[in-house]
Every structure is written in C-alpha cells, then in structure tokens.
Structure 1
Amino acid sequence: MISTVNSSFTLIPNQKYRRSNRRSNQFNNIPDADSQSLSTLGNFKALPLEIFQMILDYLSAKDISMLSMVSKAISSHLINYISTSSGNRRLLPQDFHNLELSGKKQGRCILEHYRSLGLLLKRCTLLLPTKERLKYIHKIISEVSCFKISGCSNPLHCLGLQCYGVFLQTLTAGWDELECHRVYNFLCELSNLPRRVQTVVSSKPGSARKLELRIRLFCRSVLLNHWAHQSDSAFWLTRILKPWPMVNQARLLYLIFGPVSSLDGHVVWHKMTEEPTDETCLKGLADAIKLLYDTEAKEWTADDVISLVDELAVVPREWLLENSARLLILSGNNICFTFMASKAVNGRAVELARLVVFLALVCEKDLYCMDWAVKMMQKVCKVFSTPGERNNFLQSVENAFAHMVMDMLHSIMSGDRDEENGSFLHLFHLVNAQANFHKEILYLTMNNPSA
C-alpha cells in the first residue's frame, strides 16, 4: 500500500510540469500554430497588410505567382489581395479593344499576362476542391464583361475571349477528365451555352447570325484554340458536340469551323452548295474531323466520324460533290478510304463512282498527284465481295466521266457560260483530269501486268 501511494504521488508533479511547460511557450523557442503561420511570412511579418499589398502592386502576375509557392500563409495573403478592388483592377486589365494590339507586341503581352494569372490562381487555390476553386475564380473574373459570351459589343475586334481561353487553359492544364467535365459544366452554367446552341440548331441557318458568331468565337477562343495536345482539343470538342444528335453535331461543326465572310465574320452557310471552294474554306472542318477520328478521341468510333462527315455534306443543303471530295482529301487517307469503303459495302456503287471522278478532278485542279486517286480507287475495289460488283463499279466510273463531259459540253453549247469563261475552264480541268487519271491507270497496269 505504501509503495502504491508513493508511486501515485510521484505522478502529480510531472503532470503539473507538463501543463506549466505548455503555458511557457512564449518564453521558449518552440512556436505555436499562430507563430508558425507568422514565421512563414518571413520578413513580411513585420509589415502591416496594407504595406504588403502596396509591395504587390509593383510585382507582375508572374512574380506574384512565384511568390504564392513560398508558403500557405503567403498564398492566403495573396488571395486576399486579388480579391481587393485595387488588386482585381491591376491583375485583370481590360484593354482588349485597341485595334493596334492584335498580332502585335502589346497583344502578346496581355495574353501572356492572363496566362500568368491563370497560373497564379491555379497555385493559390491548389488546396481547394474543384467546385470551390471554380466558385472563387468566377468571383474574381465575373466583372470582366468581355469574358462573357454576349458581353462585348465588338467581339470580332476584341482579345477578351482569347485572354479568357489562355487563362482557362493554364488553370486547368494537368487536371483529370472528371475535373475538366466539372469545368465544362460550370462554364455552360455561366454562359448558358446549351440553351444558346439549342436556339441556333433549331433555327434556319443564318437566321440568328449574331448569336452564331458569338457561339463560334466563344467555342474557338475559350474552349478549343489554346491546347498544345490533340487529346485535350478532342476532349473539349467532344464536350461541345456529344450532347446533341448527329444532325445537330454536323451543324455545330460547320458553325464552329466552316467558312466565314471576310467582311463581317459571319458564317457563310451556302458556300459549299453554290460553287466550288478552295482549301482555306475547308481546312478547319478537315482538321476537326481528323481530330475526332484520332485514336485519342476515346468517345468516337470510326462509324461515328463517317456518319458525321455524311451529315456534314448536307449542311444546310447537299454540297457540290467537288467540295465533298476536297474535304475528304484534306481529311487524310484513312478517313477518305473509310468513307468510300462504307459506300461500297452499302451498295452505293454509282454514288461512289461519281465521287472517284471528283477526287480526280480535285487532284487536277489543286495539283495533287493523280496516282493517289488511282491507288485509292484500287484499294476500294478490294472491298467489293465479287468480281461482278467490282466490274460494275469500274464501269460506273467510266460512265460518270463520260456523263460529266457531255453535260459540260451541252451546257456550253446551249449558251450557259459566264463572263470569265468558267464553264470552259471547268471542262478543261475535267478533260485533263480524265486523261491523267487514265494515264496513271495505264502506268499501273503496264508496270504490274499481274495487277
């Protein structure tokens, strides 16, 4: 009993000592939580907050971004600074409308500033959940009217959406797909993009020209143009297209990447239906199709892309076959062959034969190698299951050449010619295309007798 009592008494002084030790922290070198927070401010802890923020006024967004990585306490102070009216005003310059900016040094400077700002907010909000990060960032940039889909009165001569796109690209770089889905949904909620798209795709093409222009600029400048990797571009383009039926996807694709007027920037809907066009009008559409056909576009099958190309060729009405052929050539060998093979499998040999003729015509006009068209036809011939089907297809190709030449001659002889002799020029290209096409076939046959 004595030993038990004695042992219990010996514990009491130790407990008192530990409590007194905690109370005496201010006299020792062991800091508590508050002093730890202050110590991470370094020499800045001696300054009033107002002076600290005045110092920040002399730093660029890039420098402040580097400073944000020093400590959590510094980062917290920076968040407070960004939220102040002076910090917000300095870090979010809105000189987007100076016409001298476009393509010049100042224009590049403001884009780089918003790239640095994206990195700054990325670092400052690193520890927050995605939803909270987006809310905070929206609070910061919500006053910039040119970042809104309909916020600028002169969007064609404004760098605002481009700056917003650079900012978002830097902010979300490296985020996983789930987080990027949340970003897209957040942007849709803020911009009301789905409702605006619904208005456009359910209206007659060109009836809402201003809205079409704003949707095009927002999608390209904010969501699509600033990614370095194709997989990222494919992800964001998929987000725009996939919620809609295939016919609307084709309409949206043309709206975003189709040709526009050089005068007012509005989409030229009937360009493909009225006259043969050139590569510059089709390159954007072809690049988008290649992007979706690429293996990194996980949510698209080859059949999806071929169906999209099929639908695209009737937006807003059926295209001239020459323009369809030019689009297929620009889209690359794999897409062109898959598209043609699909027609062969589905028994559309006559339609396929006319397409071959126009592929040859485009090769002649645009100075592509004619042997490409011959080899593409040779490859498609192997898709037919019987020699009879293949021979019928080849006969259809010859008939298509003959009918087109006769139609052109009939048109010219009946007096249907324009002032610049466009009909004669078209006939000239068509006859040369036929001759060069058959020359390549002869070369192929004579050099490979067993072919």
Structure 2
Amino acid sequence: MTSTVSTSYTLIPNQKYRRSNRRSRRFCKILDIDSQSLSTLGDFKALPIEIFQMVLEHLSVKDISMLSMVSKTISSRLINYISTPSGNRRLLQKDFHNLELSGKRQGSCILEHYRALGLLLKRCTLLLPTKDRLKYIHNILSETLTAGWDELECHRVFNFLCELSNLPRKMQTVVSSKPGHVVWQKMIEGPTDETSLKGLADAIKLLYDTEAKEWTADDVISLVDELSVVPREWLMENNARLLILSGNNICFTFMASKAVNGRAVELARLMVFLALVCEKDLYCMDWTVKMMQKVCQVFSTPGEKNNFLQSVENAFAHLVMDMLQSVMSGDRDEEDSSFLNLFHLVNAQANFHKEILYLTLRSTST
C-alpha cells in the first residue's frame, strides 16, 4: 500500500509579510495527482484499436467526452476515432438542418447532441495550442459537417445560432467595451507589479471556482497557459507572479500539468522565477520549496524527478549568468534594474536552498 504523503504547505498570503513572521502561516490541502493515470491507456492497453472503437460505439457522446479527460493517450485515440468514417457517421449527424424533421422534441435532441459533441471536441483538443485547436475544429466543420451545404443552408444555420446565443448583442458588447486593466505590452517588455495583475488573477480564480459549471479546471489551466503567450510571450517573471496571485490550487495544477506532459525544463525555469518573485515581493520562500516538493510527487519515476531537480539547478545557474552578463555589459538604466535583478536572484537562490536544508534537517531529525 502506498504511504500517505503530507499535502499541506504555506498559503500564498493575501498581503505581503516578512519572512520573520513565520508563526502566522496557515496551511491548505492539495489533492495528489496520479500521474500514471494521466499518461497511460489503463485497461484499454490490451485492446486492439478496432475493438477500442467498437467499445466507443456503445458509449454516449457525454460518456466519450468524460473518457477524453482520462489521459493524453486516450484523448489522441478519440481524436483519431472522430476522424474515421465510423466516428463521422456516429457523431457528426448531417440531418439537423432538414426541414422535414418534425416536432420540438426532435430539435432539442439534436441540439443537445451537438452541445455534447462541442464539449467532446473541446476536451479532446485541450492540450493543443489554440491555433491547432481552431484548425482541427475548422476541418471537422468545413470538411465533414457542412460538406454539400448550399449558401441558403449556411445562412439558415447562422441565423439560428445568432438567435440561440444572442450573438449580435455579445459582439456589440465586445466591440464597444473598454480595454482591460492588464497592460499586455508591459507584460512583454519588463517585470510588472502585483497591482497590474491582481484583477486578472481574481478573474481567473472566479473561473476556477468549483461552483462555476461552464469552466472545468482544465479549461482554466489552458486559459492561463494561453494568456501568457498570446499575442506575444510574457516575461517569465510576470507569468510566475500571475500564478502566485491566482492561488495555490491554480498554481499547483498549472505546474502539475507541465510535469505530466513532459515539460520539465520549462517547469524548472518557472520554479526559479517563482522563487525570484517570492524574494522580490517578500513572500515566504518555504512556500516555493513546498510547492516544488508537491510537484515532484507528480513525476512517475525517480529518474524524471531527478531530471527535474537537476533542471531547476541548471535554470538557476543559467539565469544568474545571463543577469551577470547584463550587469557586466555596463548597459544600466537610471534605476540600475540589471544589478537589482541580479541581487534579488542571488538572494532568492540562497534562501531557496536554505529552506531546502531546513526541510531536509527536519525530516532527518524526526
């Protein structure tokens, strides 16, 4: 039987506080993630692909949609299934625009079917970049679903969707609304402060709330990932600060997702910037160490975990060298930001390793 590992660690504070104020820390629980269940086929591994697809024929669209969230491998197989002739016939019904269909009940059933299908496509492509997701959905709609439609049918469907979702009013609201409070250009050009990101972080936490029915945890994590790269990639420090402000659950789930999907080097670099932000914004460094400890539990093998830890040390070393080179180049601004960044990073590295030593000594003495 697997031993139970403690899952508590310091909460991210609502307000900044000095590290000397350690007695006032609170603790929270984070659910363990079984990384093996997210990266394997499970019992389906023994089935040939043909038998697997026969099983899918007996599942509802909602059941297939739930199955798509089991693992990345399952999701890939479902994408392939949707593209097969049998999957097309089963899922992409082409008679919903037929005027001969009678009764309101029939129409509502078709609408419910495509609502479930939309959720299935959304979940299957969740791990893909936005451009690839849109390309896949476009291919499904243009090459399969709407094949053979004439212009009148397209207009009829468009008008129906506008009436159903009140699309014109929503578009008018988007076009006429004021820009958001997040200054996106600032996120690209240099480090920002908490004030610039707090509103966005609060909005993300609302979406992640368990009572929100339209957004799953995976949806929110995918959104956070896309926010920091579209239209241009944010500085990693700003990305780390947004994760900290978004709270423990979102931060951990975001990082665990990278661990599960083999992005250990990127994850290690993010861990370094979490430590840097904690140093700059005066958060307790033990939070970063315990977050890293939790992320390590996601890796399925000791080799993967050791590789990640080595990547963290390499990321620290590379970032120190980059900042040192910037300082030695003599290109300084009025605030001497290059030297200050190096100063904070060296202190962050020292405090980070100090907390690791404390944690190690406490575990060996008990």
* TM bucket normalised to smaller: 0.5 to 0.7
| Count, aligned residues | 205
Superposed displacement of residue 192, structure 1: 3.3
- Structure 1 residues 22-54: Cα deviation after superposition (integer angstroms, max 9, x where no partner): xxxxxxxxxxxxxxxxxxxxxxxxxxxxxxxxx
Gaps of 5+ in 2: 1-162
Matched, 1:398 2:313: yes
After the TM superposition, which residues 13-92 of structure 1 pair with which residues of structure 2 at under 5 Å, given as runs? none
1:278 paired residue number: 193
Q: Secondary structure at the match of 1:289?
A: helix
Q: Secondary structure at the match of 2:364?
A: coil
2:184 paired residue number: 269
Once residues 385 and 192 of structure 1 are traced to their aligned partners in structure 2, the CA distance between those partners, rounded to angstroms, is 49
Q: Secondary structure at the match of 1:430?
A: helix
- Structure 1 residues 350-371: Cα deviation after superposition (integer angstroms, max 9, x where no partner): 0000000000000000000000
Once residues 255 and 164 of structure 2 are traced to their aligned partners in structure 1, the CA distance between those partners, rounded to angstroms, is 40
Q: Secondary structure at the match of 1:270?
A: helix
Residues 299 and 196 of structure 1: is their aligned pair in 2 closer, same or farther, counting only changes over 3 Å? closer
After the TM superposition, which residues 259-338 of structure 1 pair with which residues of structure 2 at under 5 Å, given as runs? 259=182, 268-338=183-253
2:171 paired residue number: 194
- Match 1:385 to one of 285, 300, 311: 300
After the TM superposition, which residues 346-385 of structure 1 pair with which residues of structure 2 at under 5 Å, given as runs? 346-385=261-300
Contact in 2 for aligned 1:270/1:316 (Cα 8 Å): no
Once residues 186 and 368 of structure 1 are traced to their aligned partners in structure 2, the CA distance between those partners, rounded to angstroms, is 48
1:215 paired residue number: 177
- Structure 1 residues 224-267: Cα deviation after superposition (integer angstroms, max 9, x where no partner): xxxxxxxxxxxxxxxxxxxxxxxxxxxxxxx54x32xxxxxxxx
1:438 paired residue number: 353
Superposed displacement of residue 195, structure 1: 4.5
Superposed displacement of residue 269, structure 1: 2.9
Structure 2: which amino acid aligns with 1:406? M
2:54 paired residue number: none
1:415 paired residue number: 330
Once residues 269 and 363 of structure 1 are traced to their aligned partners in structure 2, the CA distance between those partners, rounded to angstroms, is 22
Deviation above 2 Å: which 4+ runs of structure 1? 185-189
* TM-score of the superposed pair, with normalisation by structure 2: 0.53
Tell me: higher relative CO, structure 1 or 2? Use CA pairs within 8 A at least 6 residues apart. Answer: 2
Identity of aligned residues (%): 80
Q: Secondary structure at the match of 2:184?
A: coil
1:426 paired residue number: 341
Once residues 262 and 346 of structure 2 are traced to their aligned partners in structure 1, the CA distance between those partners, rounded to angstroms, is 28
Once residues 293 and 201 of structure 2 are traced to their aligned partners in structure 1, the CA distance between those partners, rounded to angstroms, is 24
1:128 paired residue number: none
Residues 192 and 298 of structure 1: is their aligned pair in 2 closer, same or farther, counting only changes over 3 Å? closer
Once residues 238 and 296 of structure 2 are traced to their aligned partners in structure 1, the CA distance between those partners, rounded to angstroms, is 23
2:363 paired residue number: 448
Once residues 365 and 239 of structure 2 are traced to their aligned partners in structure 1, the CA distance between those partners, rounded to angstroms, is 33
- Structure 1 residues 352-393: Cα deviation after superposition (integer angstroms, max 9, x where no partner): 000000000000000000000000000000000000000000
Superposed displacement of residue 315, structure 1: 3.1
Gaps of 5+ in 1: 1-184, 198-210, 217-254, 260-267
Contact in 2 for aligned 1:269/1:315 (Cα 8 Å): no
After the TM superposition, which residues 114-125 of structure 1 pair with which residues of structure 2 at under 5 Å, given as runs? none
Structure 2: which amino acid aligns with 1:342? S
Superposed displacement of residue 414, structure 1: 1.7
1:341 paired residue number: 256
Once residues 252 and 165 of structure 2 are traced to their aligned partners in structure 1, the CA distance between those partners, rounded to angstroms, is 38
Q: Secondary structure at the match of 1:277?
A: coil
Residues 188 and 399 of structure 1: is their aligned pair in 2 closer, same or farther, counting only changes over 3 Å? same
